[in-house]
Chains A and B, each alone.
Chain A
Amino acid sequence: MKILVVDDSRVMRQIVTRTLRQAGYSGHDVVEACDGRAGYEAAVSEKPDLVLSDWNMPGMTGVEVLRTLRADGVQTPFGFVTSEGSDEMRQTALDAGALFLITKPFTAASFRDALGPILG
């Protein structure tokens, strides 16, 4: 399976990729995008099986990426990996079509809990 990691921080993209490996998902193909706009374009062109996206990014936020994808008819499974985890944001994420919201800081266990139903 192909997983698209969208985050404007190179450090965080590396941490997400490392945590995927630690959570037991090392066999998957991971592609990266460095901001929301690039994430949207990669979600369309790369056709990933799952998108893991930051929320607070310059230009296009994660939820704007998700809403634009859904408006364009792209139904790729989408989850947030973000530092903000208020009830309001979780509801906003779910309303936009996200499957889950993982808050930073996260552990391999929190990745397994969220991704297990999708990646097995």
Chain B
Amino acid sequence: MNVHPGPTEEDLQTIAEQVWASYLDPDGSSPLILLPPEKPSREVSASVSMTGAWRGHVVIWTSATASRHAAAALLGVELEDVTVEDVTDGLGELANIIGGNVKSLVIGPTALSLPHVLISGESGYPQVVEVCKLAGIWRDEPITISVLQSAERAGRAG
């Protein structure tokens, strides 16, 4: 299997340091400590995808608490004032920033997707509207199929 050269761990560390210094820890009091956590969490994920010469995803996985801290830092609000929408928008933007910087490191024309955020199993797609949905039961288990459209295009759909 051929793997197109992509960013390195060192590249990712440089990008993360810039993100923390600019938005998540501007005063240097709460740095990102690069040690493997004892209990990795996937309660919240935020991702962007790349297609073209380099194809793949940039994903942030974290805990619900950390995601709320990130949203609070990005918005400059108190932790207790953070809403689910804040977390969706904030984590999506973090994925977009890191993904955009990763994209700048890959060779060849590559397109970056809009972000996708997942909170405790609940999907969050910033700036979309549900245009139709099918909900049902199959083998006593629920199944829902949704079609989501970017909000701007949905507004123009005739």
B interface residues, Cβ below 8 angstroms from A: 18-19, 21-23, 71, 74-76, 86, 89-90, 92-93, 96-101, 103-104, 109, 112, 114, 126-128, 150-153, 156
Closest 10 CB pairs of A and B: A83-B100, A59-B152, A58-B150, A105-B22, A84-B100, A9-B93, A35-B152, A86-B104, A83-B97, A104-B97
Tell which of B76, B89, B92, B103 touches A86, judged by Cβ atoms closer than 8 Å.
B103
Tell me if A11 and B97 are in contact (CB < 8 A): no
Closest A residue to B76 by beta carbon equals A18
Tell me if A105 and B97 are in contact (CB < 8 A): yes
Give bound CA distance, A11 to B77, whole Å: 11
Tell me if A83 and B152 are in contact (CB < 8 A): no
Tell me if A105 and B23 are in contact (CB < 8 A): yes
* Nearest CB of chain B from residue A68's CB, rounded to whole Å: 14
Q: Is A76 an interface residue (CB 8 A)?
A: no
Tell which of A11, A84, A86, A107 touches B93, judged by Cβ atoms closer than 8 Å.
A11
Interface size class of chain A, counting residues whose CB lies under 8 Å from the partner chain: 20 to 34
Q: Which residues of B contact A58 (CB under 8 A)?
A: 114, 127-128, 150-153
Tell me if A60 and B152 are in contact (CB < 8 A): yes
Closest B residue to A9 by beta carbon equals B93
